[in-house]
Amino acid sequence: MSLAEDDTEAFEEPVPSTARTLRRLYLILFLRGGARTWRTTSYLTSLSVPLFIYACFGVLLTLGLWTQPIFAIAVYLHAATFIFLGMFMAGSAGEVLFNSVEADTLLFRPIEPRTLLSAKVAVLTQISVCVAWALNAAGILAGIAAADGGWRFLPAHTLSTLLEALFCCGCIVLVYELCLKWFGRERLEGWMTTAQVTLSASVVLAGQLMPRLAFPYGTLLPDSSRQWMFLLPPAWFAGLDDALVSGGSFSSWVLAFLACAGTGITLWAALGKLTADYGRGLQRMADVSQPSSGVEPARRWGRRLLATPPLSWWLRHPAQRAACLLTFAYLLRDRDVKLRVYPAIAPIAVIPLVTLWREPGARHQSFTGFAIAFAGCILGLVPLYTLDLLRQSQQWRASELFRLAPLAGPAELCDGARKAVLLVLVLPLFAVLTAAAWTQGLGARMLLLIPGLVALPVYSMMPCRNGDTVPLSAPPKTGSSVNRFAIVTVALLGNFIIAGVGAAALRFGWFWYFVAGEFLLALPLYISMKRSLARACWQPIT
């Protein structure tokens, strides 16, 4: 064989598809979470622990749905899936869709924006479907065992869950693209954060309101006269299940049509109509510089606030005050941090507000005590979830300055970031919860917020105990959102227990004994984690 023939055969080898290569690379990057070593395991192996936690949560959810009608099972499953997927995508989509380092690498290559966006959406959908199916595995068994169910529920619910994941992902992308299209360069950052927070909160709001509108007064009997449920996406996919499995009513077929049409229109707009705006938005986001006006007044205002009692008594160490002020600045001004933090915690903040909402005329008032106690326990999830997000930053290399300071370890910096989160995020949320409970006429049961406040210091110290929450000290890790939310899911189960026992204790007259026991349990845990943080040393730079 001649040399020319060898060259011809070399050129005839198939060129790898750009779209397939991008999907593979984005999936690896997502699972690596920013690590510098390649993972050789599959994505199911990498997500095995989080998926197991979601499956356990799905089992607990399904226990109350066994032997119920198909529509009742589907409504609760899709409502829970909508909440979980909304919270997961809210914490992941911003970093996946808009990464400044990626813009410097890919914008100079001949890659169409549609190909780039489709690869990212495919990865988000792939991970979301795994989470959704793990959450719905037990529910599928309940649907098969239902009187009006059967084996047809398996393919029907699999299809509806896939459409629901595509719909959630399409909504997230669509909101970003509309912000890029409608708002100018100067207002782009703030409006994108606002729109993303609004969307993530709306997803959880729809998931929580859906069961209440479809099944009034805490029952599992559908009320077809409630037309508001046609506006909530979880009802669409539940109607699709009911229509495909049991034939359903006319309302179920209307909901099924809305599910298919809504998903199709959202994907068409996000991946087709507005793709060009996404490409221009990547360039615009890479070129946007932070404005300098108003920085010094904001810094002076922050310093004066932290130097005023009682905050000055609480932040005695200079390193704590510096870390707290730095966290203030990034939470209020930095686009990358705001786009990562606020959409991720917005769903957590919405959960207690919806829990406290009582429908006029409702008779199921026995749930009110648990609702207030659970709302107070949710406060602890905010620092538990946020501190790891604040540790990540695009400017993480500048954190080498922390090691040059005369500090024996990262304890004071972690403590300063923790206290900043309590001041900026937890304290306003507590004020809103108190006002919401008071306006609902629940002032007599405000004592049920105390168990959550007792557990709050423990929750806030948990991510800090090994000195791992130095603010802005690590590169962004997109793949960690699944594991992080799995931890929050476990904490939610703990909150259910605390809230349930607290509500029962107030009802039967031993509330203060419960608070004293919780305090005696929380105090040594807090002191132990505080000492562990004080002993933490600087980790070597890898």
Assign 3-class secondary structure to 464-497. Answer: HCCCCCCCCCECCCCCHHHHHHHHHHHHHHHHHH
Q: How far apart are CA 254 and CA 257, in angstroms?
A: 5
> Looking at residue 142, what is its pLDDT?
86
Residues 273 and 339 in one domain: no
The separation between CA 317 and the C-alpha centre of its own chain, rounded to angstroms, equals 33
Q: How far apart are CA 230 and CA 438, in angstroms?
A: 31
Residues 206 and 60 in one domain: yes
Domain assignment of residue 32, yes or no: no
Q: How far apart are CA 436 and CA 409, in angstroms?
A: 41
Residues 155 and 96 in one domain: yes
- DSSP 8-class letter at 273: I
SS3 content of the chain, % helix, strand, coil (to 5): 75, 0, 20
> Looking at residue 422, what is its pLDDT?
92
Instruction: Work out how many domains the chain is built from and give that number.
Output: 2
- DSSP 8-class letter at 533: H
Both tokens of 462, joined, read 């948990």
Residues 459 and 349 in one domain: yes
Question: What is the block-wise mean pLDDT of the chain (542 residues), using blocks of 10 residues?
Answer: 49 63 77 50 64 82 78 84 77 67 62 77 84 87 82 89 88 75 57 64 62 49 55 85 83 88 88 69 55 47 75 85 88 77 76 63 55 85 86 80 83 91 89 78 76 91 87 73 71 84 87 92 93 83 56
Residue of 2, 254, 200 lying closest to 87 (CA atoms): 200
> Looking at residue 293, what is its pLDDT?
41
Our CA angle for 472, 475, 479, nearest 5°, is 120
> Looking at residue 291, what is its pLDDT?
44
Q: What are phi and psi of 474, to 5 degrees?
A: -135, 150
Residue of 210, 235, 234, 215 lying closest to 225 (CA atoms): 215
Q: How far apart are CA 160 and CA 267, in angstroms?
A: 15
Q: How far apart are CA 408 and CA 363, in angstroms?
A: 59
Q: Distance of CA 263 to CAs 166, 211, 269, Å?
A: 7, 21, 10
Residues 104 and 215 in one domain: yes
Residues 322 and 284 in one domain: no
- What is the identity of the amino acid at 427? L
Both tokens of 215, joined, read 């099944």
Domain assignment of residue 447, yes or no: yes
Burial pattern 192-224, b for ≥16 Cβ within 10 A else e, equals bbbbbbebbbbbbbbbbbbbbbbbbeeebebee
Q: How far apart are CA 298 and CA 317, in angstroms?
A: 21
The separation between CA 61 and the C-alpha centre of its own chain, rounded to angstroms, equals 19
> Looking at residue 461, what is its pLDDT?
92
Residues 305 and 442 in one domain: yes
Residues 282 and 372 in one domain: no
Q: How far apart are CA 59 and CA 80, in angstroms?
A: 12
Neighbours of 287 (CB within 10 A): 9
- 3-state secondary structure at position 392: strand
Domain assignment of residue 18, yes or no: no
Residue of 486, 330, 492, 349 lying closest to 426 (CA atoms): 349
Domain assignment of residue 340, yes or no: yes
Domain assignment of residue 383, yes or no: yes
> Looking at residue 295, what is its pLDDT?
42
- Last residue within a domain, chosen from 247, 273, 290: 290
Q: What are phi and psi of 89, to 5 degrees?
A: -70, -35
Residues 271 and 299 in one domain: no
Give the range of the structural domain holding residue 326, as residue numbers without chain letter: 294-358+365-536
Domain assignment of residue 35, yes or no: no
Q: How far apart are CA 208 and CA 213, in angstroms?
A: 9
Residue of 442, 459, 441, 443 lying closest to 451 (CA atoms): 459
Residues 300 and 435 in one domain: yes
Give pTM, 2 decimals.
0.67
Domain assignment of residue 457, yes or no: yes
- Last residue within a domain, chosen from 240, 258, 290: 290
Residues 280 and 311 in one domain: no
- DSSP 8-class letter at 271: I
- What is the identity of the amino acid at 187? R
Residue of 353, 348, 384 lying closest to 88 (CA atoms): 348
Q: How far apart are CA 325 and CA 327, in angstroms?
A: 5
What's the N-to-C CA distance of the chain in angstroms?
A: 50
> Looking at residue 38, what is its pLDDT?
42
Domain assignment of residue 8, yes or no: no
- DSSP 8-class letter at 424: I
Q: How far apart are CA 124 and CA 481, in angstroms?
A: 12
Residues 278 and 304 in one domain: no
- Last residue within a domain, chosen from 251, 275, 290: 290
Partners of 474 in the beta sheet?
A: 392
